[in-house]
A and B are shown apart, each in its own frame.
Chain A
């Protein structure tokens, strides 16, 4: 269990800056998730921490010790790869014990340790099999076993579940959370799946184009996104963004006229405002699907174009022109495609963003 601190860490491949100067602190024992769209540098950041890539600039401390120039083996970390990276020519047992063998542990001892690890992962029966003869979930467990056996202070996972089917993914998610509670190590988990991030993380780091957009607990990010990117990235279905102008604002409430609704006005509570706002300013109003109400007296009129009925919930989609779909969460049946509906917005939940995307 060790803390990690990144100070002004930078990575470029040639002229291509993949990680911009970046500061981040991860507390000991925390389960941290890096999320962000594909290509934003999540894996690169993880590999920098692991020591598989060299930093271009900046410093990495693990457990208070500068490890910037140390090889992976001296950083007390273990990594689980997306492809599992099991050695195809070694059996499950040999795969798990390989790190110990390299470390010079005598054969009897390391086999015993590998067996013990395999047992905790319910892999006893497969100890002598080659990876080729395993299912996806079993391979995943071997990959995790290979990390556990080294008893590292820090676990690094790079999208470890993305090759599994949905059901297995949910199961493995819970197993990993349980593992975290048992071994009490610091864990960093990379994913581009925000559901995974929300369900597993104690702390989420949202990355975009090599920069940190926001750091916080899942709920913090959900409730208080710093900008449109985070607001749109966290939460499913996505938050709706409606373009408009500020008509009036005071300390209590803000009134916005919405372009897509012929200038109809909605009220937004100022309680969740974080910055100054001026009358006439162009803004975007962010409303999560569940913060609309179907309301015969509502100011916004839409026509449903698609319906997704999930049983407990129903998502209504309305075509807003220019490729934008408005998503509304409701309950119960009784909606049909082509229905004209009126909606109102829960004023306490809507968020306002300025033209640069920053929350105001």
Chain B
């Protein structure tokens, strides 16, 4: 629409940009700045250059957090992707009404507040009266009734399984939409050429779903880096930091130890990881047929 003053048009964006700048953009910039300082929360932050980042490089806790995130990726990324794909493929044989009902059930965890889910699972995992161990004992598997979230070896996978449960339905729904996008004649052509179900999946379905796989990878990897709510409410990083992740570490450093500069450096690294993942996934995985 022409003949309107382009600076006058700013009145449409300014209210939104003001709120956004004040409560998102400025804090982001402040976080970056704070990462170069030492600050206990009172007085002026002291500029220390890259010292925080240098210290991170030799911080065993930070590396523990990174290692835990790497392990969690199995549960945040690999399992939801594979199970979601398998479910979407299996469910495509079912008639539409039933398919939608199943999808609704699988998708349900994804709309719930993950903090509350963490609390619920803490109860489900409770070693003594938690329903999970009751089932195991009733099934004669009492030996398997572990103190899940308190166990050094099993705490991380136990937390991870909740994430898998949370993301499977979401991945499945994305793949279901992707399968609908694929031209049905492609499958017919494959079956005319005598391809088996597995061959069809390998040579037709999978390549056609590349855009969806890309997006699932992007979102779940970012989710694994951001993971916080679930773990905070389930274990708070315990036992003995076995489930510590970087955002949790940031919280402890900042709000428990008042090392705000150092905590900001951790937060900045996390944000950089996310930007990098974004870049990699967008650059290196083929777009193949625009699904957007």
Contacts and interface: CB of A to CB of B under 8 A. Distances in A.
B3 A70 contact: yes
A71 interface: yes
Nearest to A71: B3
B2 interface: yes
Nearest to A52: B2
A54 B2 CA distance: 7
Interface string B3-38: 100000000000000000000000000000000000
Nearest to A53: B2
Contacts of B3: 51, 54, 69-71
Interface of A: 51-54, 69-71
Nearest to A70: B3
A119 B47 CA distance: 79
Most B C-beta atoms less than 10 A away, residue of A53, A70, A71: A71
Nearest to A74: B3
Interface in B167-214: none
A234 B15 CA distance: 56
10 contacts: A51-B2, A51-B3, A52-B2, A53-B2, A54-B2, A54-B3, A69-B3, A70-B3, A71-B2, A71-B3
Interface SS majority for chain A: loop
Contacts of A69: 3
Given A53-B2, A69-B3, A71-B2, 7 more contacts: A51-B2, A51-B3, A52-B2, A54-B2, A54-B3, A70-B3, A71-B3
A53 B1 CA distance: 8
A185 B26 CA distance: 58
B194 to A, nearest CB: 43
A59 to B, nearest CB: 16
Contacts of B2: 51-54, 71
A241 B3 CA distance: 47
Interface of B, secondary structure class, is loop
The range of chain B's interface size is: under 10
In the A-B complex, list the 10 residue pairs whose CB atoms are closest, starting with the nearest. A71-B3, A54-B2, A69-B3, A53-B2, A71-B2, A70-B3, A52-B2, A51-B3, A51-B2, A54-B3
A121 B109 CA distance: 58
Contacts of A70: 3
B277 to A, nearest CB: 34
A53 B3 CA distance: 9
A52 B1 CA distance: 7
B158 to A, nearest CB: 53
Nearest to B2: A54
B133 to A, nearest CB: 59
A52 B2 CA distance: 7
Contacts of A71: 2-3
Interface in B114-143: none
A69 B2 CA distance: 9
A79 to B, nearest CB: 14
Nearest to B3: A71
B3 to A, nearest CB: 4
A186 to B, nearest CB: 22
Interface string B195-237: 0000000000000000000000000000000000000000000
A69 B4 CA distance: 11
A54 B1 CA distance: 9
Contacts of A53: 2
A52 B3 CA distance: 9
A2 to B, nearest CB: 20
A27 B25 CA distance: 57
A38 to B, nearest CB: 25
A51 B3 CA distance: 9
A71 B4 CA distance: 9
A218 to B, nearest CB: 34
A71 B2 CA distance: 7
A70 B3 CA distance: 7
B35 to A, nearest CB: 41
A336 to B, nearest CB: 43
B21 to A, nearest CB: 30
A57 to B, nearest CB: 15
A69 B3 CA distance: 7
A54 B4 CA distance: 11
A61 B3 CA distance: 17
